Structure 1
Amino acid sequence: MAYATLDELKGRLDWELDEDELRIAMGALEDASDLAATYGREWPEDAAPRLVRTLVLKAASRYMRNPNGYTQSRAGDETLAWADIGQDAGTVYLTREEIRLLEELGGRRRGLASAEISAWGSKIRPSGGRVPVDYGGDSFPLFRDDRGPW
């Protein structure tokens, strides 16, 4: 499964791919598509949003241009340097911004959320968040009330 085609990737590269590079490019497209499905959601190939295709092509072309993850190279003294991207150096990867965009497209939002919980087998009483009191008067609003802020 790939969210972009090999021809679309070739259009983003400024050289003709040989047979080995074509094989590597197909693998890069599949890896980038797998990452997009992991961080976003698994869209059908023909119904994926355009931005998903764009992000897959960006990741695959980034890898094809620099498969080893070099940030510096010198021919005279044989100097090479790798980016400080940790284990992602030399692999198809998505940037933090690309991951954030995929999460939003997939309906995943980071942050805090609350969920109402209750004990197993308990029944929620429609008391409006009021608890009984010992002195025999009206119940006391403890959590919330339909009529007020509690």
Structure 2
Amino acid sequence: MAYATLTELQGRLDWELDEDERRIAVGALEDASDLAASYGRAWPEATAPRLVKTLVLKAASRYVRNPNGYTQSRAGDETLAWSEAHGRDAGSVYFTREEIRLLTEFGGRKPTFSSAPVTAWESTLRPDRGGLVPAGYPGDPFPMFSSDRGPW
């Protein structure tokens, strides 16, 4: 499954891919599509949104241009360097933080805040007050749960 084609990727590159580079590019497109689905959601391949296709192409072309993740290279003394900026992702298909944010929001996985009701172990509602106590301000009483052994 890939959200973009090899032809679309070739259109973003400055050179014609040889056979080995095409094989690597196809793998990069599949890896980027898998990552996009994991960060966003599994869109149907034929109807993937244009933004998803664009981000997959960006990640795949980034990898095809620099599959080893080099940040510096010298021919004379054979100096090679890798950046710590992408950590374990250097030399692999990856999305930047901004691209991940776009995919998660576009896929409907935007982080949200929620709450869950919590009660103490073996607590029960007090039948005389129904578990409600005054809140200390005008309005509805606050639900408070307690054990039969405690003062509340």
Same fold (TM over 0.5): yes
- Cα distance in structure 1, aligned partners of 2:119 and 2:133: 19
CA distance in 2, matches of 1:55, 1:63: 12
| Alignment correspondent of 1:93 | 94
**Number of residues of Structure 1 aligned to a counterpart in Structure 2:** 128
Partner of 1:124: none
Contact persistence 2:133–2:141 (CA under 8 A): no
Aligned position for 2:15: 15
Q: Which amino acid aligns with 1:56?
A: V
1:106 aligns with 2:107: yes
Residue 49 of structure 1 deviates from its aligned partner by 1.0
CA distance in 1, matches of 2:98, 2:45: 22
Q: TM-score, normalised by structure 1?
A: 0.78
Residue 72 of structure 1 contacts residue 80 of structure 1 at CA under 8 Å; is this kept in 2? yes
For 1:28 and 1:103, locate their aligned partners in 2 and report how far apart those are by CA, in whole Å: 20
Task: Give the Cα separation in 1 of the matches to 2:118 and 2:83.
Answer: 46
Q: Report % sequence identity.
A: 74
Matched AA of 1:48: A
- Give the residue type in structure 1 aligned to 2:2: A
Structure 2: which 5+ runs fail to align? 121-129, 135-139, 144-152
- Specify whether residues 113 and 18 from structure 1 end up closer, same or farther in structure 2 by C-alpha distance, changes over 3 A only: same
